[in-house]
Structure 1
Amino acid sequence: METAKYPDMRMQGIWNGGGGRYSAVELDGVGKVAGDVEADRFISNGVATIQGGLTAAVMQFNGRLKVEGGIAGQELLLEGQLKAKGPLHADRCKINGAISIEGDCSAEQFEATGGIKIGGLLNGGQISIMMQGPSKIKEIGGEQIEVQRAKRELWSKLLGAAVPKWTPSLEAQHIEGDEVRISYTNAEVVRGDRVFIGPGCRIGLVEYRTELQIDPDAAIREEKKL
């Protein structure tokens, strides 16, 4: 039985493309794709808009990409800015930049450095967030969860001092995992087996089973051993 062969889509400069099923998609420059896109490999360099959903085994974004639907795939690599109006589901996400997802986000391995905004649940096995700006995630659930400030260059430190709203911090309603290590996080509830609350945290309720460590520079309203 022969495997179906699909065409490639390659765009350069200022362009407009159509949705469909492709083998490989490579977008360079500025443009938009009308409709859903499904591909084995999707690469975008520049500024692009997908007027629909995106499904691809491997996705690589360099620049700025807006997806007006959901995103699904195996591997997502981002250097730049990504905005999606639907959910994001991938086996592995590696993000360096800014990401905004209006729905839920799930990944077995989620690694992000930059600014993160997720309107629903971020769910994964290993979750690592290194903040370089203000971030907001409604809920986080996973096995190993780490939220820290990334090392900042001098210009970023000066910007944070001049514009307090730009200071790297995370706002969340609920965080739950087997092992939770967080810093500079404001959350209503944090729950886990082993919980480590670092500096700059403001937490309403912390629930833990085995171990709890709290930095002197953190404020916890209530703690409870399960």
Structure 2
Amino acid sequence: MDKRELPDLIINGVSGGAGGTYNSVRIDGVGKVTGPIVTRIFKGNGHMNLKNDLSAEEAECNGTMKVLGHLRFNSLKVDGMITVGESIRGESCTLHGMLNIKGDCELEDFAGEGSFSVGGLLSAGHVDFKLQGQGKAHEIGVESLVIRQTNSGVWSKMLSGIIPKLRSELRARTIEGDFIDLEYTTADVIRGNIVIVGPGCTVERIEYRDQITVHPEAKVGKVEKIGD
């Protein structure tokens, strides 16, 4: 359908709206949408409560947003916190804040700073993320994965010692990819062509094909070269 034939949905202040197919959706304030949304552009500023699915070509969230269903997009930019009740699928996601997903997360590019939690599989082409809190996924499958820690201040160290979930680290059962470069990661198994294990890592088993580098401060159990 021609985008010029589609209506816009605009919510200002404390209000709500119905789901539907739109050219653009803009929420400023506290907004609730009851049905599934399909839109070309979605922009939210404030507190958004979406009771069903959201599908957008371009999505932007500044504040807090809860999506009870699935979240689909070409590009997503987040400054704040998003909670998704089902799964995420998109091309690129730039996050500055927190992302919580109950199901799987499928992205081509995932970058930013903050923390994330994926209840199922995190599948991505390229991940380049700076942790300011905990990153969690049941399993991770990527082409390339780069994880760094940014919380190095005195208060951050004190809080992470008192409250473990505030510690800036990545936790996953298995991590698999072509290029893996990690800091402050706890995993059962890591498999990759090129694997770089930096400081703060605890890994039970590493399987690599081409190259392995392990930092002296990392704790690694078994290391095995696989393939030809």
TM bracket, shorter-chain basis: over 0.9
The 1-side partners of 2:3 and 2:205 are apart by 54
TM-score normalised per structure 1: 0.95
Deviations 1:50-85 (A, max 9, x none): 000000000000000000000111000000000001
Q: Residue 89 of structure 1 aligns with which residue? A: 89
Describe how 1:86-165 pairs up with structure 2 within 5 A.
86-165=86-165
Structure 1 vs Structure 2: percent identity of aligned residues?
35
Secondary structure at the residue paired with 2:86? coil
1:104/1:121 contact within 8 Å kept: yes
The 1-side partners of 2:178 and 2:135 are apart by 22
Distance 1:13 1:155, change over 3 A: farther
The 2-side partners of 1:8 and 1:217 are apart by 55
The 1-side partners of 2:170 and 2:190 are apart by 13
Q: CA deviation at 1:224?
A: 0.5
Distance 1:152 1:7, change over 3 A: farther
Secondary structure at the residue paired with 1:103? coil
Describe how 1:42-57 pairs up with structure 2 within 5 A.
42-57=42-57
- Stretches of structure 1 that go unaligned for 5 or more consecutive residues are none
TM-score normalised per structure 2: 0.94
Q: Residue 189 of structure 2 aligns with which residue? A: 189
Q: CA deviation at 1:143?
A: 1.0
Letter in 2 for 1:8: D
Deviates more, 1:142-151 or 1:19-28: 142-151
Deviations 1:31-53 (A, max 9, x none): 21001001000001000110000
Q: Residue 68 of structure 1 aligns with which residue? A: 68
Report the RMSD for the aligned CA atoms in angstroms.
1.5
Distance 1:20 1:159, change over 3 A: same
Secondary structure at the residue paired with 1:132? strand
The 2-side partners of 1:48 and 1:5 are apart by 26
- Stretches of structure 2 that go unaligned for 5 or more consecutive residues are none
Deviates more, 1:188-197 or 1:130-139: 130-139
1:132/1:152 contact within 8 Å kept: no
Distance 1:3 1:21, change over 3 A: closer
Distance 1:178 1:65, change over 3 A: same
Q: CA deviation at 1:163?
A: 3.1
Deviations 1:82-135 (A, max 9, x none): 000111011100001000011111111111311110011111111112110122
Secondary structure at the residue paired with 2:103? coil
Secondary structure at the residue paired with 1:13? strand
Deviates more, 1:207-216 or 1:131-140: 131-140
The 2-side partners of 1:60 and 1:152 are apart by 29
Distance 1:160 1:151, change over 3 A: closer
Q: How many residues align?
A: 226
Distance 1:168 1:151, change over 3 A: closer
Q: Residue 30 of structure 1 aligns with which residue? A: 30
Secondary structure at the residue paired with 1:35? coil
Matched, 1:16 2:16: yes
